[in-house]
Amino acid sequence: MASGIETVRNMWSKHFTYDEWMESRGVPIYRGYYIADLRTLELGWWEERQCNTAFIQLTGQEGVTAARVTEIAPGKTLPPVKFALDEIVYVVEGRGLTTLAAAGGKSKKSFEWQKHSMFLIPHNSRHQFSNMQGDKPVRLLHYSYLPLALSAVRDPNFLFSNPYEAPEIGTGQEADFYSEAKMVKNTTLDASWYRNVYWYGNFFPDMRAWDKLDTNERRGAGGRSVYIQFHDSEMSCHMSLFDSRTYKKAHRHGPGRVIVIPVGEGYSIMWEEGKEKVVVPWHEASMFVPPNKWFHQHFNVGSTPARYLALHPPMQFHGHAEKVEDRAKDQIEYPDEDASVRRRFAEELSKHGLTSLMPEEVYKDKNFQWSKPAA
């Protein structure tokens, strides 16, 4: 694989090695603040991978995380790929099969997936994707830390053509690599900030239907969340669900967190403190990335509960305050928000013939307790 990377770089450049590699592939690249619909995004042919694809590098990814959409034609299997990094895959559309092969193809492990499935492709594994449908294409969203890796090791061949072989699949801990995820009690982290439990595994069959959720009082709206840690990886994510005609508290964190919508209709507002706001409309298969330390706030204007799935950057970029007293700077409580937030929400709901279900008490009492979680 030719690197396609320049030999001379400008000092302090924010045009990263990953950008140069991405641009050398000759396929569409999407920038800006959001993708309206990953299902209809225009793609281009990538000869090397024998599929249509597009790179997504939104403002908030900031050279930290990579996102890409792959389309697999009906009934087709893509060529095998070996990649040195862990990669999260979310199934935007379709049904298919992933096959992992050890060195020389001695052992193989396959698992099936469907629309809204999410799984991890482990580092240094040789893998193939197959479309099990004969009449419809598959679309996959890929997420990794490739920009960081290429900034550290400025040679794509090291990451895609490295002769190192991972241990055989199906032995030792790998034997149940894609078995059912397990709930783990949180005994080491600060429970006032993190969840009391999280789910540990590499395959989640349907994020739209996943019902093992905990109350998440910190963000308001009576929401519920699930936090996920992938096996033998620093990659993690979480998904939140909140009721129709409600909205979450504004908050901020570090860069690189890709948010995709499994179900729901609404909008989010993102802004850098003291600057103009960016409005992101969303529905199923929309994607956006809040930039570093930009406040953002999620609003459900549909008639059913909404879900957003957030794929996390490395822990070094989470941007969470370590001290409880400092966290107030990164979240705006309902009584402290600008009144224009409520006015806009009411206006957007009225377009759908709906009215707000936000209790009036939330705007007076910072310690308001929601009477019921989202269903």
332-344 confidence digits (pLDDT tens): 999 999 999 999 9
| C-alpha to C-alpha distances, 312 to 189, 317, 355, 359, nearest whole angstrom | 17, 9, 33, 31
Of the residues 176, 206, 222, the one at which a domain ends = 176
For position 326, what pLDDT does the model report?
58
Q: Is residue 372 part of a domain?
A: no
- Say how many domains are in the chain: 2
170 pLDDT tier (thresholds 50, 70, 90): very low
Is the pLDDT confidence value at 40 over 50? yes
For the sheet containing 266-271, what is the strand order? 277-282, 266-271, 295-300, 250-251, 331-332
SS3 state at 195: coil
Q: CATH code at 310?
A: 2.60.120.10
Is the pLDDT confidence value at 4 over 60? no
| C-alpha to C-alpha distances, 249 to 204, 212, 358, nearest whole angstrom | 27, 22, 12
Domain identity same for 106 and 123:
yes
For position 292, what pLDDT does the model report?
96
pLDDT digits (tens, 9 = 90+) for 265-301: 999 999 999 999 999 999 999 999 999 999 999 999 9
Q: Is residue 367 part of a domain?
A: no
Taken as a whole, the chain contains a residue count of 375
Domain identity same for 167 and 194:
no
Alpha carbons 234 and 15: distance in angstroms, whole number: 26
More confident residue, 5 or 273: 273
Alpha carbons 24 and 4: distance in angstroms, whole number: 6
pLDDT digits (tens, 9 = 90+) for 136-150: 999 999 999 999 999
Q: Is residue 221 part of a domain?
A: yes
Is the pLDDT confidence value at 22 over 50? yes
For position 188, what pLDDT does the model report?
61
Domain identity same for 27 and 136:
yes
CA 36, chain centre distance (Å): 15
Domain identity same for 277 and 209:
yes
Q: Is residue 167 part of a domain?
A: yes
More confident residue, 373 or 348: 348
Specify the range with the lowest mean pLDDT, choosing from 37-46, 105-114, 242-251, 267-276. Answer: 105-114
For position 327, what pLDDT does the model report?
58
Domain identity same for 203 and 280:
yes
Domain identity same for 206 and 136:
no
Of the residues 128, 149, 176, the one at which a domain ends = 176
Of the residues 125, 153, 176, the one at which a domain ends = 176
131 pLDDT tier (thresholds 50, 70, 90): very high
For position 86, what pLDDT does the model report?
96
Domain identity same for 247 and 308:
yes
Domain identity same for 35 and 51:
yes
Is the pLDDT confidence value at 172 over 60? no
Q: Is residue 65 part of a domain?
A: yes
Q: Which amino acid makes up residue 178?
A: Y
Alpha carbons 326 and 334: distance in angstroms, whole number: 18
For position 201, what pLDDT does the model report?
93
Alpha carbons 16 and 64: distance in angstroms, whole number: 10
Domain identity same for 165 and 189:
no
Alpha carbons 228 and 239: distance in angstroms, whole number: 8
The stretch 162-186 carries a mean pLDDT of 70
Contacts of 9 (CB under 8 A, 6+ apart): none
pLDDT digits (tens, 9 = 90+) for 208-239: 999 999 888 788 888 999 999 999 899 999 99
Domain identity same for 170 and 43:
yes
Is the pLDDT confidence value at 319 over 80? no
Q: Is residue 333 part of a domain?
A: no
Residue 19: its H or E element:
helix 17-24
Alpha carbons 138 and 95: distance in angstroms, whole number: 7
Q: What is the mean pLDDT of the chain?
A: 89
Q: Is residue 326 part of a domain?
A: no
Q: Is residue 154 part of a domain?
A: yes
Q: Alpha helices of 70-220 — where are they, by DSSP H? A: 146-152, 156-160
The stretch 41-63 carries a mean pLDDT of 97
Domain identity same for 186 and 162:
no
For position 194, what pLDDT does the model report?
53
85 pLDDT tier (thresholds 50, 70, 90): very high
Q: 244 lies in which domain range?
A: 182-321+340-355
Domain identity same for 345 and 282:
yes
Is the pLDDT confidence value at 36 over 90? yes
Is the pLDDT confidence value at 75 over 60? yes
Is the pLDDT confidence value at 16 over 60? yes
